[in-house]
Amino acid sequence: MSYSRFSLIRLEKTLLLVLLITGNLVFGHHAAATEDAGTTKLPSIFGNNMVLQREAVVKVWGWDKPGTEVVLAPSWGSEVKARANDSGYWEAGIQTLGAGGPYELLIQGSDQIKYDNILFGEVWLCSGQSNMEMPVKGFPNQPIVNSREEILKADKPEIRFFIVPRQSTAHRHTDLTGEWIVCSPEFIGEFSAVGYFFGSELYENLDVPIGLIGSYWGGTSAEIWTDTDVLKANFADKDLASPPEDHPQPGSLYKEMIHPIIPFTIKGAIWYQGESNRSRSHLYDKLFSAMVEDWRLKWGQGDFPFYFVQIAPFKYDGADKISSALLREAQLKASQSIPNSGMVVSLDHGNFDIIHPFNKKPIGDRLAYWALNKQYGYDYLLPEGPVYKEMKIEGNTATLFFDNIPNGLIYMKAELDEFEMAGSDKVFHPAKAVVTRESTVQVSSPEVDEPVAVRYAFRNYPKATLLNTEGLPASSFRTDDW
């Protein structure tokens, strides 16, 4: 199958769905999504080649004529029955087995639907803005490191992916267009590079099928991915993003690109976003935490794992200004307050002139380290770099202490770059920083006799010089709150 034929198939399915739902305004999963009251329908997230979460009671839902009994007959187990309510909505839970397949699922209501080539494995949602969206083949004039080699070796039929199409309206919809695609060199170039590398790392280590759902849109803020009810309850209108005319409005992508796939059973989510929230970094911790909490509430799976990427260095409004450092600080705070979360530091993978770093594989791999460590029993695999803990001052020297350094710190050269020190005048000066045998960092500056505060890499385009022995970088940080 060629790319052109694949595009035509998707176009045909899109036109068919438009014909089915034109004229309907639907506001929740419990509303009918089709005008044909005698038709059995499931959302497009279900289909041939899909991956269902292994060893779980997976949610299956759809619509039919009110009162219709719907029988779900899985090839791997016993029948399950549901009945369409007064709105035509029905929902059932089906127990899946351990990793494997292929299986079939037959649904009999007013009509009969059959899904083939189903696998059981690990299902993850991949969401965010353009650094998550950036595909394996790269963006125009912006490559992915080793993309050709990665594409050529992507013959991995046990990895499947589903791309949620870009769509944004003022109404909350129950469905979307799309289909599950088997991973192959022919198609993988279109999927998220970070998502694919994350999934590949899981696949290579777990040896189970992997399902990846990609829902992303470049240039979007966290407000756009958050339900409007949550925004209204927690924020004033003046605090929210005012996107340009050609971008979605707050809440719109939640309605169109997240809500329709809830409550499809997932293992967890990975997220790469934040660049569009730099101007409101002081709100990001609260906003992001509220979004994650609401997604988990709507999914009804408890505090499922949520791993995310801290934004990378870029010149932004000036290499030495601190707008992105403030956003990274907010993301670090969020990682420490959101239950069952973890943050990947990308301080060592920025591009000065291009906001989309080229080397996405280390980022996908680091997200996988979080999952492997926290979800899959790889306790020995440290997923996180050094995290600043406390500072002690003696004379003109500040000693910094860190967590997540079981094997100590390494450094790129004898003296670490990117450290600054200030006294009570709040004026920061370049500082000398060295790693001690106790894996602390001692910081001093000839310009500061009585130090009060220290900052590391606290600007838009810093270099990563502080890492643990596992090679994972520390986040930018500051000891002050000025």
Q: How far apart (Å, rounded) are the C-alpha atoms in residues 87 and 351?
A: 52
Phi and psi at 35, nearest 5°, equal -75, -20
Asked whether the predicted pLDDT for residue 106 surpasses 70, the reply is yes
CB burial of residue 413 (10 Å; 0-12, 13-18, 19+): exposed
Q: How far apart (Å, rounded) are the C-alpha atoms in residues 173 and 274?
A: 26
What local confidence, expressed as pLDDT, does residue 413 receive? 63
Asked whether the predicted pLDDT for residue 154 surpasses 60, the reply is yes
Residues near 455 by beta carbon (within 8 Å), at least 6 away in sequence: 419, 420, 421, 422, 428, 476, 477, 478, 479, 480
Entry pTM: 0.92
What local confidence, expressed as pLDDT, does residue 167 receive? 81
CA dihedral 292, 298, 299, 303 (to 10 degrees): 40
Do the Cβ atoms of 7 and 187 come closer than 8 Å? Answer: no
Residues near 249 by beta carbon (within 8 Å), at least 6 away in sequence: 168, 170, 224, 243
Q: Structural domain boundaries of the chain? A: 1-384, 387-478
Q: Note the Cα 374 to chain centre separation in Å.
A: 16
Residues near 75 by beta carbon (within 8 Å), at least 6 away in sequence: 103, 104, 105, 106
Over residues 168-191, the pLDDT tens digits come to 765 666 889 999 999 999 999 999
What local confidence, expressed as pLDDT, does residue 30 receive? 42
Do the Cβ atoms of 167 and 176 come closer than 8 Å? Answer: yes
Task: Tell me the mean pLDDT in the region 285-314.
Answer: 98
Which numeric CATH code is attached to 1-384?
A: 3.40.50.1110
What local confidence, expressed as pLDDT, does residue 284 receive? 97
Q: CA angle 152-155-158, nearest 5°?
A: 150
Over residues 194-249, the pLDDT tens digits come to 999 999 999 999 999 999 999 999 999 999 999 999 999 999 888 887 777 778 89
Residues near 149 by beta carbon (within 8 Å), at least 6 away in sequence: none
Q: What percent of the chain shows pLDDT beyond 90?
A: 86
Q: How far apart (Å, rounded) are the C-alpha atoms in residues 171 and 189?
A: 32
